[in-house]
Amino acid sequence: MIEIIQPNVPGKGVKPFLTFFPADRPDTGGTVLIFPGGGYDHVSVQKEGCSIAEALNRNGFNAFVLDYRVKPFSGKAILTDAVQAVNTVKKYLMENRFENRKLALMGFSAGGHLALMETQHWAEFHTENEDISGRPDALILCYPVVTFMEPYAHQGSRANFLGEENLSDDALIGKYSAERHISPDFPPVFLWHCEGDGSVPVENTLMLRDALIRADISNKVILYKNGAHGLGLAPDDAVISTWFAACVEWLKTVF
């Protein structure tokens, strides 16, 4: 495990913080940058970060886990952390001459929203290495927050990202509702969600799926009848835990 602190970001030494989990043969299998969830209130680094990274390592993929800033920092600051993380990881893969430099973003809950926002808004941010694209090669979204629009918005994530003072700003709400901004060059997407999720409504995933289909973007969606929110690998559920094996097989086709 190699720890890398991003350069040129306020909070250096505390957050943001990148931790690298290399596979046995790190140059061959591709890399996944993980954004854990936490409603932009905290970051679930272990359950939705390190444990996922170790599982990816066992399947031949490198992984990075980003511990990003949350409230009271602004959504712009949080998104800056994500964009800088992608830039840092891509630079690391280039400088160390990795044979396979494909990069996927994996996000859980609010981390899924952050992965979508990075993919859609990276060009708005200055990075240390301006010649490196912030576009990932694939997205893996686990019970993601997708929309800030009513009636399916996750209230906590929206309030923490936008700030209470911006909750009536329709322009900002629309800008950061990912389903409204799926472009033709969007990367392929893997999605899973539980229909019984009482925290982030499954409609978030359904809205994104429909937008991807309309834009003719490759996607794979797995819905589980039962189950709740924040399950991570779901090790205690024989059915829902199948999401990870399905994700690995999908990722191999992308990488």
Element (H, E) at 118: helix 110-121
- 199 pLDDT band (50/70/90 cuts)? very high
Average pLDDT over residues 218-223: 98
Element (H, E) at 159: helix 155-162
Length of the chain: 255
Task: Quote the pLDDT of residue 10.
Answer: 45
Q: What would the two tokens of residue 137 be?
A: 């090669």
Average pLDDT over residues 142-166: 96
Task: Quote the pLDDT of residue 50.
Answer: 94
Q: What would the two tokens of residue 186 be?
A: 């969007």
Using CA atoms, how far apart are residues 46 and 25, in angstroms rounded to an integer?
23
Task: Quote the pLDDT of residue 181.
Answer: 97
Task: Quote the pLDDT of residue 38.
Answer: 97
Task: Quote the pLDDT of residue 20.
Answer: 93
Using CA atoms, how far apart are residues 52 and 69, in angstroms rounded to an integer?
20
Q: What is the mean pLDDT of the chain?
A: 93
- 9 pLDDT band (50/70/90 cuts)? very low
8 dihedral zone (left: phi>0; alpha: psi -120 to 50; beta): left
Average pLDDT over residues 232-248: 97
Comparing 69-83, 125-139, 146-160, 174-188, the range with the smallest average pLDDT is: 125-139
pLDDT in tens, 71-129: 999 999 999 999 999 999 999 999 999 999 999 999 999 999 999 999 999 999 988 77
Whether the Cβ atoms of residue 104 and residue 96 lie closer than 8 Å to each other: no
Q: Please tell me the CATH code under which domain 2-254 is placed.
A: 3.40.50.1820
SS3 81: helix
Average pLDDT over residues 193-203: 96
Q: Judge whether residue 49 has pLDDT over 80.
A: yes
What's the half-sphere exposure (Cβ side, CA atoms, 13 Å) at 36?
30
Q: Judge whether residue 143 has pLDDT over 90.
A: yes
User: CA nearest 244: which of 234, 236, 254?
Assistant: 234
User: CA nearest 134: which of 185, 198, 208, 58?
Assistant: 185
Average pLDDT over residues 246-255: 96
Give the rounded percent of residues in the chain with a pLDDT score beyond 70.
95
Whether the Cβ atoms of residue 174 and residue 149 lie closer than 8 Å to each other: yes
Task: Quote the pLDDT of residue 14.
Answer: 64
Q: Judge whether residue 8 has pLDDT over 50.
A: no
Q: Judge whether residue 174 has pLDDT over 50.
A: yes
Q: Please tell me what DSSP assigns to residue 166.
A: G
Using CA atoms, how far apart are residues 56 and 73, in angstroms rounded to an integer?
30
What's the half-sphere exposure (Cβ side, CA atoms, 13 Å) at 214?
11
